[in-house]
Amino acid sequence: MLGKEAHRITNVSRRLIAFLILIACSCGTVAAQLTPQQKAENLDAFEKVWSKVRDRHPDPKLNGLNWQAIHDSTRPLIEKARSMDEVREIMRDMLAKLESSHYAIIPADRYTDKPAAAKTPDAPADAGPGEGFGRISPEGVLVRFGNLPETRLSFDAHALADGVGYIRFNEFLEPGSIMPQIEAALKGFHDAPGVILDIRGNPGGIGIMAMGIAGFFIDKPGQALGEMTMRDTTLKFVIFPRPETYKGPLAILVDGGSASTSEILAGGLQDLKRARIFGTRTAGAVLPSDIVRLPNGDGFQYAQAGYTSTGGRVLEGAGVTPDVEVRQTEEARRDGKDAVLDAADEWIRSTSR
């Protein structure tokens, strides 16, 4: 009897558990459903995304796409979408048809109302000779610019063992902080045999910072890094030389994560024969863009111009090809070495012999 009773209780328990799981799943499904207000906001967001592309894409013909037909086939999908993730995926699929960089839907939860951390950088306490040019801590500081989500910015400047100057920062943001630190670093590197600018993994940021940074290395007025072409106007990335410029050898390190403003700076200085580029081909994502907030809280990044380097190269989709291709090897990584940095350092030392 005990066995049968236990068996009966087990069956009841299983049915109860199955029932509770069904209830939980049903509740989860209901909770995930979009409200009428959210659906309306998503439709408004879709219309804003679609019209921004129509009105601001650098190519008025939108690469030959029938943009109105794409609108008419996409809107019903937005209307039927059951979640925010589905809405975003539908819009991303639509934008992918453009086959261009700098088009992105940024989820609302990437934004925060928390204030950014203090932006005052501190030099490390153990900075030795030739080090400590007011560098931001390696962990970086939280910064916010326009409609970009809050991001962490880091900066490092120090002299290598042989006296070569080294500068690295991870995004072109906070010019009021980054530019003075680059200036201070270069003053410290005044007598250095060369300078290495490391923008590997740097996805870009504020485009005009490329012009400002180039001005630390170009002493001849009237030079430009290239030009930005919009539908109704063309703007040049004009370089304004600084009162004091660094005239020694300049090496720039790049890789597949170097994009946008990084490519404008590296490609432009390469064309001007002012820098030697080391590493691997860059991302090929070089369209100046803007970011707006959508009615549903998401962000939308869209291209508003094309870019041509000063040498006439279209870098979008092609990237910057290094003068010296160097890949970090597993062997070097195991030994704690940086093959790309070492190659640039060797080139600088060879030019100063």
Which range, of 16-30, 134-148, 286-300, averages the lowest pLDDT?
16-30
pLDDT at 331: 84
Name which CATH class applies to 141-351.
Answer: alpha beta
Confidence of residue 51 (pLDDT cuts 50, 70, 90): very high
Q: What is the tens place of the pLDDT at every residue in 79-105?
A: 999 999 999 999 999 999 999 999 999
Which range, of 105-119, 121-135, 254-268, 279-293, averages the lowest pLDDT?
121-135
pLDDT tops 50 at residue 268: yes
pLDDT at 329: 81
Q: What is the tens place of the pLDDT at every residue in 116-158?
A: 333 333 333 232 323 335 444 556 777 777 667 778 899 999 9
Q: What is the average per-residue pLDDT within 341-346?
A: 96
> Among candidates 133, 51, 123, 135, which has minimal Cα distance to 94?
51
Q: What is the tens place of the pLDDT at every residue in 178-194?
A: 999 999 999 999 999 99
The pTM of this model reads 0.78
pLDDT tops 70 at residue 112: no
pLDDT at 150: 76
Q: CATH number of the domain at 34-100, please? A: 3.30.750
pLDDT tops 80 at residue 350: yes
Domain extent listing, the chain: 34-100, 141-351
Residue indicated by tokens 């279209």: 314
Q: What is the average per-residue pLDDT within 296-323?
A: 93
> Among candidates 262, 266, 307, which has minimal Cα distance to 289?
307
More confident residue, 345 or 33: 345
